Structure 1
Amino acid sequence: MQDILTCAMGLDIHRDVIVACLAKGELGTDPEIEIRSFSTLIPEMWKLRDWVLEAECRYVAMESTGIYWQPIYEMLEPCFDGQISILVVNARHMKNVPGRKTDMRDAQWIATLLRAGLLKGSFIPDKTFRELRHLTRYRKSIVRDITAQKNRIDKFLQSSGFRFTAFLSDAFGASGRNIIRHLMEYGNISREALDRCLKTQTRKRIDEILIALNGSLSEHQRGFLRMIFGHLEALEQHRHTVEDAITKEITKHEEALSLLCSIPGIDVTAAAAIIAEIGTDMSAFPDSQHICSWAGLSPGNNESAGKRKSAHINKGNPYLKSMLCEVGWVISGKRSLYLSGWYWRIKQRKGAKRATIALARKLLALIYTMLKTGSPYNEDCFEIRRKQSERKRASRMVNELQKLGYFVVAPG
């Protein structure tokens, strides 16, 4: 390996200890190796930062080990007024030789690879987007908790003999919540009270719903229902607080927000989650294929002896991947869109799961191009492609009918 850096530092990070190796020396000569260990407590990490500043080491590399690298990255990022290169590297790209592996050897191996310029850092967005990530990812966990709490309430009502949720499209809509509040207060419900609870079209099924509510709750059951329903309302209120904070942060990126919201199926919530994961500057990715691979929307390569075998997509970014799949599912229901038609054609050949991943990849490629060029989504640009595909399908149908002996005039 030919060295290209005179000073480099490798960090082997664990939960309780950080092993740092400083490799410093003139190019073409063996570097001087100095290895130090630090704990992951704040005072010890300050000592690590002071050592980096003292050694004037502007090139640092570390493994992307869970979340343990994040506080160290945050502490070293402002060093030298931001004029420092910090690489967070995938551990698979720099595995050491098995049988000769220790923490000190790992740190030295990282420093050696970094000094030779053989490491490629993972994509780390600016601090503004990392802070937005905290909110968008937390919102996702809050929504998951709300869904779990709704299922818990529904399960309790079902076990208590109240099966009205089968007759309401949304058991936690206005009508369902009115019924639950009435049961918390009185333990049972009459026809007159049910008529006051039901809203709009649900009143047409009042007799069926009344039969499903033919039961009563004891004092303990009413108290327990009050407890779990109050927790649901608290979670929903907390979600609104988080969403208000997201809205406040995402307005700082109004241009990118308007570009993403021009895609059918993407609202402010989805756009905020996407922007938080990939940022607005696409210069970190050479092309759309790189960002799709980083997101985990590209199939792997598995070829041996000239035979190409099935390969699953890589892990990538689960938050971005899941959001794009949700958007793709929304788009698939809008039959008038080009992307929707493209999804259904893929689904017929590959199945629903592969079609969803394919549409998510296509969406990410579109988003990459839109953010890079600053041009909004335009459905008209797909009109020519749609007409071409329709003509091809019509021509294939005519050929099949002619083979069967029917006389059909070719279209166009």
Structure 2
Amino acid sequence: MDAIRTCCAGLDVHQANVVVCLLKGPLHQKPTKVIREFSTVLSGLLELADWLTEEGCTEIAMESTGIFWQPVYNVLEASCTITLANAAHIKAIKGRKTDMKDAQWIAELHRCDLIRGSFVPPVEIRELRDLTRYRKKLVGHATAERNRILKVLEMANIKLSTFMSDVFGVSGRLMLQALVNGEVIEPAQIADLAKASLRSKIPQLVSALNGRVTKHHRSMIARSLKHLEFLEQSIAELEADMEVYFAPYQRQLELLDSIPGVGEHTAKIILAELGTDMSVFPTEMHLSSWAGLSPGNNESAGKKKVLP
């Protein structure tokens, strides 16, 4: 393998420590090797950054190990050019695996430019990612809570979802609250609770609400409703904060929103995942592949294998 870097380093990152192998020397000679270990607390990472600067090393490579690479990346990105490698692409030889050998293996590959770097957007885009991914989690939790309430209603022989497209709309929530309060819902009361088009379904709603709701069922629904309200409030507050973060990207969001099938939140997710600098992708096909929209190609001996 031909070397192209006179000075580089490979990092084997763990939760508590990072092992660094520094390779330094002329391209036509075997490089000198220095291996050191640093703590991953901030003081240790700053010591690592200072050491790399003293050695004149500005090009490093490391694996994307869980989330443990992120604090290391955040500290070193200001002073080094970092190549973040997919761990599956740089596996060491079996039977020869130690932290020091892993760091050396990464350094040797990087010295010969054999590591393909992963896409890491700038810090501003990474912050947008945190917000959109957290919102997705909250929405998922809210959906799970709604499904839990529907499950309890079915167990209690309450068939609201059969006659209502949205049990958690204005009318549905009023009825759920009445059930939680232990009220006996009469037809006249349903007429007050049902809004808009639901007023034409009052006879069906009377039958749907005639179930066997126990104290246990009311308690379960009350807990889930309380948690659901908290989640919805959290989502609303998060979306308000997101408006501030996405304010500089209104033009990009408008262009994305103009694509058929792409709404406001989808546009924000696309922007947060891809960023605004498309020069990091050599072609549109690379972008499509990175986004997981291109089929894989696994062919051997003229036979194509289906990837799991």
Q: TM range, normalised to the smaller chain? A: over 0.9
The one-letter code matched in structure 2 to 1:9 is A
Equivalent residues in 2 for 1:4-403, closer than 5 Å: 4-79=4-79, 84-215=80-211, 217-219=213-215, 221-307=217-303, 309-312=304-307
The one-letter code matched in structure 2 to 1:28 is H
Bigger relative contact order, structure 1 or 2, given CA contacts below 8 A and separation 6+? 2
Could you tell me which runs of 5 or more consecutive residues in structure 1 were left unpaired when the two chains were aligned.
Answer: 314-412
User: C-alpha separation between the residues in 1 aligned to 2:3 and 2:236?
Assistant: 53
CA positional deviation for 1:295: 1.6
Pair 1:100–1:216, CA change in 2 (3 A): closer
User: C-alpha separation between the residues in 2 aligned to 1:264 and 1:27?
Assistant: 53
Pair 1:97–1:233, CA change in 2 (3 A): same
* 8 Å Cα contact 1:24-1:32 kept in structure 2: yes
* 8 Å Cα contact 1:246-1:272 kept in structure 2: no
TM-score when scaled to structure 1? Answer: 0.71
Pair 1:221–1:304, CA change in 2 (3 A): closer
> Post-superposition, which runs of at least 4 consecutive aligned residues in structure 1 deviate over 6 A?
none
Q: How far does the alpha carbon of each residue in 1:177-229 deviate from its partner, in whole angstroms, 9 at most, with x for none?
A: 11011222243311111111111111111111101111464555434432221
The one-letter code matched in structure 2 to 1:33 is K
Pair 1:99–1:218, CA change in 2 (3 A): closer
Structure 2 SS opposite 1:35: strand
Pair 1:166–1:44, CA change in 2 (3 A): same
TM-score when scaled to structure 2? Answer: 0.95
The one-letter code matched in structure 2 to 1:21 is C
CA positional deviation for 1:3: 1.7
CA RMSD in angstroms comes to: 1.7
Could you tell me which runs of 5 or more consecutive residues in structure 2 were left unpaired when the two chains were aligned.
Answer: none
Structure 2 SS opposite 1:250: helix
* 8 Å Cα contact 1:187-1:218 kept in structure 2: no
Instruction: Give identity over the alignment, percent.
Output: 46
User: C-alpha separation between the residues in 1 aligned to 2:34 and 2:307?
Assistant: 42
The one-letter code matched in structure 1 to 2:231 is L
The one-letter code matched in structure 1 to 2:31 is P
Structure 2 SS opposite 1:188: coil
